[in-house]
Amino acid sequence: MLYLLTILLGNFDHSLFKSIYIFLISFFSNTFSAISGGGAGLLQLPALILSGVPYYQALASHKLATVALGIGGSLRNYKSLGTDISIAWQILIFGLPGVIFGASVVEYISEKYLYLILGIISILLAFYSFLKPDLGISSGNKKLNFGHKIRFLIFIFLIGLLNGSISSGTGLLVTILLIKTFEMDFLRAISMTLFTVGIFWNFIGAVSLARIGSVPLNLLIVLIIGSFTGGYFGAHLSKLNGNTLIKKTFITVCILVGISLLFKSIKSFF
């Protein structure tokens, strides 16, 4: 009896420690993600995999958790969406088919090439943002001609495709695309990214990936709590400190995500 009690207590301590570890990772990664507009998968997904969750189930769990990130960030910064609802509809209508297609083919494509491409793009985004000191600091309302609209929608579909198959970096791509296309500032663009990518893209991607295997419920609950609170706190910090802090965080997260993805890609070649 004493032996059985010792085993149960040992398992409880281990489970409690794992839950606290997952919560802290989720909270801090989603705090930075809410400030920068992406990159939660940089810490959150590897933490799940190290906890023994298979890759595709970990990816589905991560995407479900980032829905909570999107909700938390959107609740804090919903006013920043302003009059951009038409842009949100474009992101959803043309991005969601890409997400579904990407999630459906993730089992059949080589991740190492996607990691390599997205890693290079993330690092280039960081340098580009650093070399453009005025980028995303002030907000405008650029009117698009037909050609620019078509290009924007094509890019949204392609980023959605990546979002369905890769965990990190696609939110950063949407953020910078909104800034470049519509001359948004970082706060406005990230609010849009959290609302569209964080909530809707990731939810559809998670549902599509969940068919591969069941999502561990105990870890998922901890992830959702950590993601929601981290998303709300990060959005609160960005609101208080403005676009300068957001841009610095964006550049930092882009570099870290890029290096992480390049490392994954190089490692998979050997």
Burial class of residue 236, CB neighbours in 10 A (0-12, 13-18, 19+): middle
Residue 38 has pLDDT above 60, yes or no: yes
Alpha helices for 132-195 (secondary structure H): 146-165, 170-182, 186-193
**How sure is the predictor about 212, in pLDDT bands with cuts at 50, 70 and 90?**
low
Do residues 25 and 19 touch, judged by C-beta distance below 8 A? no
**How sure is the predictor about 211, in pLDDT bands with cuts at 50, 70 and 90?**
low
Please give the share of the chain, as a percent, with pLDDT higher than 70. Answer: 86
pLDDT digits (tens, 9 = 90+) for 95-141: 999 988 887 776 666 667 777 877 888 888 888 888 888 887 777 77
Q: CA torsion 35→29→123→235, rounded to 10°?
A: -10
